[in-house]
């Protein structure tokens, strides 16, 4: 697809804006024959049928504008958001930087999004057609920059948007919202989850929606243990591992490497996969893990699966390679699974952990 090559001549945020506009036209599907139906990749998780393990990570379709169009590219699921209760503009531009030489991105967006009210209209419309359209919709929720009631805001978002998605993610790990990552500390995390779960229990429409948390790759040993224990004790349904990193490895070579924000893409692969493995062991394989960070190939996905992921997501790889990467990854993955004698992807989960 020429479009996805040409678009890179524009500054990163403008390129993203134009890509959403083009996707909205709904014509991309005519150029694609996504590879979706292969029994070896199919899994039932939380009573939902995932055609393949690959989903679009949060941040691409922040406002739920192109849900169907993303799913038509061959992703089995997409995560809308991060959505906050009220709309907000985010940080000053420029705030997305490509690190071409490292196949990475640094973003300092700060949860720019249309807010829960506008997103509600879009996801409600899409969710109501779910019996006719394939694909699973996750919803990623964050806090506004200036809020006095963090827990209350998460709860309000979950109550209004939660009925119209298949799973809910509490984002406690973006590096671009001051204070957000403190929610990963034991006391705060426990409080937040208990309060959300109590409200969720009382509401028929969201009672059974899987509740996930998305964590940072930059957490320390104590936080890892606390997150694992709290998730097990409070019955969290899944952990997404993980968000972008604030750390910069010495191996980065691009001139943009010291820009402020969270780093994603290839340099994140190893650290996020190591954390995945650790969290798989700490949770005894009892919680569904979603592996994210630096996926560019079927081999990368296979490593995440063997490290303990049941599902995976990508963002930066899609920006660098374009949507052809989705079919390529799934085909490669089938090849690796068959070569190792597996009948279904679920048999390979955690085999390296």
- For residue 173, indicate whether it is catalytic: no
Report the residue number, 316 or 330, with the smaller CB distance to ligand FMN: 316
Report the residue number, 16 or 342, with the smaller CB distance to ligand FMN: 16
Report the residue number, 198 or 315, with the smaller CB distance to ligand FMN: 315
**Residue 107 within binding range of ligand FMN, rule CB under 6 A:** yes
| Residue 212 near residue 240 (C-beta atoms within 8 A) | yes
Report the residue number, 18 or 40, with the smaller CB distance to ligand FMN: 18
Q: Which of 4, 97, 280, 315 binds ligand FMN (CB under 6 A)?
A: 315
| Residue 312 C-beta: closest distance to ligand FMN, Å | 9
Q: Which of 41, 54, 219, 314 binds ligand FMN (CB under 6 A)?
A: 314
Q: Which of 174, 216, 264, 272 is catalytic?
A: 174
What is the number of other CB atoms lying within 10 angstroms of the CB of residue 122? 18
Helix/strand/coil (H/E/C) assignment for every residue in the chain = CHHHHHHHHCCHHHHHHHHHHHHHCCCHHHHCCCCCCCHHHCEEECCEEECCCEEECCCCCCCCCCHHHHHHCCCCEEEEEEECCCCECCCCCCCEEEEHHHCEEEECCCCCECCHHHHHHHHHHHHCCCCCCCCEEEEEECCCCCCCCHHHHHHHHHHHHHHHCCEEEEECCCCCCCCHHHHHCHHHHHHHHHHHHHHHHCCCCCCCCCEEEEECCCCCHHHHHHHHHHHHHHCCCEEEECCCECCCCCCCCCCCCCCCCEEEEHHHHHHHHHHHHHHHHHCCCCCEEEEECCCCCHHHHHHHHHHCCCEEEECHHHHHHCCHHHHHHHHHHHHHHHHCCCCCHHHHCCCCC
Report the residue number, 37 or 258, with the smaller CB distance to ligand FMN: 258
Buried b (16+ CB within 10 A) or exposed e, 188-207: ebeebbeebeebbeeeeebe
x/- binding map, residues 110-139, to ligand FMN, per CB under 6 A? ------------------------------
**Residue 53 within binding range of ligand FMN, rule CB under 6 A:** no
| Residue 205 C-beta: closest distance to ligand FMN, Å | 24
Report the residue number, 128 or 138, with the smaller CB distance to ligand FMN: 138
The position carrying tokens 């009210």 is: 117
Q: Which of 63, 171, 216, 310 binds ligand FMN (CB under 6 A)?
A: 171
- The structure tokens listed for 13 are 């945020």
Distance CA 225, CA 243 (A): 18
| Residue 54 C-beta: closest distance to ligand FMN, Å | 11
Residue 79's DSSP bridge partners are: 138
Residues 281-300 that bind ligand FMN (CB under 6 A): 292-295
Residues 75-104 that bind ligand FMN (CB under 6 A): 81-82, 96
x/- binding map, residues 8-47, to ligand FMN, per CB under 6 A? ----------------------------------------
Report the residue number, 58 or 206, with the smaller CB distance to ligand FMN: 58
What is the number of other CB atoms lying within 10 angstroms of the CB of residue 31? 12
Q: Which of 135, 162, 238, 265 binds ligand FMN (CB under 6 A)?
A: 265
Stretch that binds ligand FMN, among 47-55, 56-64, 70-78, 150-158 (CB under 6 A): 56-64
**Residue 279 within binding range of ligand FMN, rule CB under 6 A:** no
Stretch that binds ligand FMN, among 122-130, 143-151, 310-318, 345-353 (CB under 6 A): 310-318
| Residue 178 C-beta: closest distance to ligand FMN, Å | 15
Binding interface with ligand FMN (CB under 6 A): 57-59, 62, 81-82, 96, 105, 107, 109, 140, 171, 174, 214, 243-244, 264-265, 268, 292-295, 314-317
Q: Any idea which residues carry the catalytic annotation? A: 174
């Amino acid at each position: 697809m020429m479009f996805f090559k040409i678009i890179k001549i524009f500054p990163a945020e403008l390129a993203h804006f134009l890509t959403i506009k083009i996707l909205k036209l709904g014509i991309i599907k005519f150029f694609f024959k996504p590879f979706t139906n292969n029994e070896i990749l199919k899994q039932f998780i939380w009573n939902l049928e995932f055609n393949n393990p690959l989903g679009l990570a949060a941040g691409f379709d922040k406002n739920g504008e192109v849900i169907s169009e993303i799913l038509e590219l061959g992703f089995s699921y997409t995560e809308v958001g991060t959505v906050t209760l009220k709309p907000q503009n985010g940080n000053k531009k420029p705030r997305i930087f490509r690190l071409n030489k490292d196949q990475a991105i640094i973003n300092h967006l700060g949860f720019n999004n249309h807010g829960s009210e506008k997103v509600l209209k879009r996801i409600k419309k899409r969710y109501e057609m779910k019996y006719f359209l394939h694909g699973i919709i996750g919803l990623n929720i964050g806090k506004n920059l200036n809020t006095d009631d963090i827990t209350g805001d998460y709860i309000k978002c979950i109550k209004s948007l939660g009925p119209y998605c298949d799973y809910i993610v509490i984002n406690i790990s973006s590096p671009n919202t001051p204070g957000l990552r403190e929610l990963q500390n034991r006391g705060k995390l426990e409080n937040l989850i208990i309060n959300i779960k109590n409200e969720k229990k009382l509401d028929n429409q969201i009672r059974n929606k899987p509740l996930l948390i998305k964590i940072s790759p930059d957490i320390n040993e104590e936080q890892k243990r606390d997150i694992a224990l709290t998730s097990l004790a409070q019955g969290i349904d899944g952990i997404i591992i993980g968000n972008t990193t604030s750390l910069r490895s010495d191996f980065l070579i691009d001139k943009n490497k010291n820009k402020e924000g969270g780093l994603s893409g290839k340099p994140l692969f190893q650290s996020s996969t190591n954390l995945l493995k650790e969290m798989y062991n700490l949770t005894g394989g009892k919680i569904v893990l979603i592996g994210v960070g630096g996926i560019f190939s079927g081999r990368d996905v296979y490593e995440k699966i063997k490290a303990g992921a049941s599902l995976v997501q990508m963002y930066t790889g899609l920006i660098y390679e374009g949507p052809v990467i989705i079919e390529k990854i799934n085909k490669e993955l089938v090849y690796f699974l068959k070569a190792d004698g597996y009948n279904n992807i679920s048999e390979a989960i955690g085999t390296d952990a």
